[in-house]
């Protein structure tokens, strides 16, 4: 035992690095180390010899462990001193400036839209992305046999709900939440199960807006929309208003903007027409006002649904909507 102890202590004293100490520890105390192997042979000894040998081996094991722990402190301190001596840090040199982040173009335009509407007295509200069929369809006067309710257009969830296909559910929710008169917008993501191309994406952004009062007009709606577009683009833009059918408004309109990518000459973004569908709008259908818990004989309203993703494309002349969700930093860093 004394010979084993002297040999172990000598190896520990000779170790000058933590890695060397680890090797010594494994050699003596590891699963296949000398002490471990000796302990495994105790069963072959007579009872009295086994007792004495076991006691002596455990004493030796503890002494080796203590010696390794003490030597580790000394070796670690020495290594730190050597590392400090070999490295020179010039504290007068300027540090490495962290690269600051910036906002996504979609976020920037959304904030512009919110700012314009809040200055016109609109609330900005947030509603769930996972919706019930009532708020996404029934409450918006969309019948059960409407094509938009097909799984080809809608992502249905296993709990019976769905991923909202537009931000229009906010119309019914807001009317149930706030006492009229009021006006509000609700920006957010929407989801549709459709093929993607330069101007269509399965996940994109919209902003819905409504105004509820005792007397509203299409003229006020158009004025608000022109104020919005002027605020975003910083100038008057060319638009056109044409009839459109949407179950939740009557009468309904399509407000188109002249394509800012091609200047109206025709490109994949505008489907070679020179115009981009930007904003379905109109006076809120009486059935929707009833679904919101209000009396259509007393209250009227107008609503619009603005394609934020397409507005971003027009604002920055982006020729493919898929760039917005690509996660490609080369694209984002341009803004």
CA dihedral sign of residues 247, 248, 252, 257 = negative
Task: Look at the chain and report how many structural domains it folds into.
Answer: 2
Task: Quote the pLDDT of residue 207.
Answer: 93
Q: Is residue 97 part of a domain?
A: no
Same domain, 204 and 287: yes
Q: Is residue 36 part of a domain?
A: yes
Same domain, 18 and 156: no
End-to-end CA distance of the chain: 75
Contact in structure between 248 and 285 (CB atoms under 8 Å) = yes
Same domain, 111 and 68: no
Same domain, 75 and 185: no
Boundary-marking domain end, from 86, 114, 130: 86
Same domain, 68 and 19: yes
Same domain, 206 and 324: yes
Same domain, 74 and 192: no
Task: Quote the pLDDT of residue 289.
Answer: 95
Boundary-marking domain end, from 35, 58, 86: 86
d(CA 114, CA 6): 80
CA dihedral sign of residues 240, 242, 245, 251 = positive
Give the domain range for residue 276: 105-332
Contact in structure between 300 and 216 (CB atoms under 8 Å) = yes
Same domain, 13 and 147: no
Report the helix count and the strand count for the chain, using DSSP H and E.
11, 9
d(CA 66, CA 194): 70
Tally of CA atoms within 13 A in the half-sphere of 281 that contains its CB: 30
Same domain, 81 and 186: no
Task: Quote the pLDDT of residue 132.
Answer: 94
Q: Is residue 99 part of a domain?
A: no
Return per-residue pLDDT of the chain as tens, 335 residues: 888 888 888 888 888 888 888 888 888 888 888 888 888 887 788 888 888 888 888 888 888 888 888 888 988 888 888 887 777 777 788 888 887 778 899 999 999 999 999 999 999 999 999 999 999 999 999 888 877 777 668 899 999 899 999 999 999 999 999 999 999 999 999 998 888 887 788 889 999 999 999 999 888 888 888 888 888 888 888 888 889 888 899 899 988 888 877 878 888 877 888 888 878 899 999 999 999 999 999 999 999 988 888 888 888 888 888 888 888 888 888 88
* Secondary structure (3-state) at 164: coil
Residue 17 token pair: 């690095």
Same domain, 151 and 38: no
Task: Quote the pLDDT of residue 149.
Answer: 74
* Secondary structure (3-state) at 279: strand
Boundary-marking domain end, from 58, 86, 114: 86
Q: Is residue 73 part of a domain?
A: yes
CATH number at residue 286: 3.30.930.10
Packing angle of the helix pair 2-14, 18-29 (nearest 10 deg): 160
Q: Is residue 218 part of a domain?
A: yes
Same domain, 159 and 302: yes
pTM over 0.75: no
d(CA 136, CA 169): 5
Residue 141 token pair: 């006067």
């Amino acid at each position: 035992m004394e010979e084993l102890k002297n040999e172990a202590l000598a190896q520990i004293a000779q170790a000058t690095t933590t890695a060397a100490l680890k090797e010594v520890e494994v050699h003596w105390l590891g699963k296949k180390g000398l002490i471990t192997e000796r302990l495994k042979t105790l069963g072959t000894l007579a009872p009295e010899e086994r007792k004495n040998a076991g006691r002596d081996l455990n004493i030796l094991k503890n002494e080796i462990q203590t010696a390794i722990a003490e030597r580790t402190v000394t070796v670690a301190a020495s290594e730190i001193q050597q590392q400090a001596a070999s490295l020179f840090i010039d504290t007068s040199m300027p540090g490495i400036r962290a690269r600051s982040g910036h906002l996504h173009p979609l976020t920037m335009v959304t904030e512009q839209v919110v700012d314009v509407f809040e200055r016109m007295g609109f609330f900005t509200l947030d509603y769930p992305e996972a919706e019930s069929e009532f708020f996404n369809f029934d409450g918006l006067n969309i019948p059960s046999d409407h094509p938009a309710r097909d799984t080809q257009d809608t992502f249905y969830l296993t709990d019976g709900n769905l991923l909202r296909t537009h931000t229009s559910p906010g119309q019914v929710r807001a009317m149930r939440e706030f006492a009229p008169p009021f006006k509000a917008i609700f920006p957010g993501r929407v989801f549709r199960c459709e093929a993607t191309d330069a101007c269509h994406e399965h996940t994109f952004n919209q902003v819905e807006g409504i105004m509820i009062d005792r007397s509203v007009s299409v003229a006020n709606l158009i004025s608000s929309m022109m104020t919005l577009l002027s605020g975003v683009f910083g100038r008057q833009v060319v638009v056109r208003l044409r009839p459109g059918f949407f179950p939740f408004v009557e009468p309904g309109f399509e407000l188109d903007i002249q394509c800012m990518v091609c200047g109206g000459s025709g490109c994949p973004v505008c489907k070679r027409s020179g115009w981009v569908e930007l904003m379905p709008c109109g006076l809120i259908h009486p059935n929707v006002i009833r679904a919101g818990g209000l009396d259509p004989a007393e209250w009227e309203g107008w609503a619009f649904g603005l394609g934020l993703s397409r507005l971003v494309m027009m604002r920055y002349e982006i020729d493919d909507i898929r760039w917005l969700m690509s996660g490609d930093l080369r694209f984002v860093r341009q803004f």
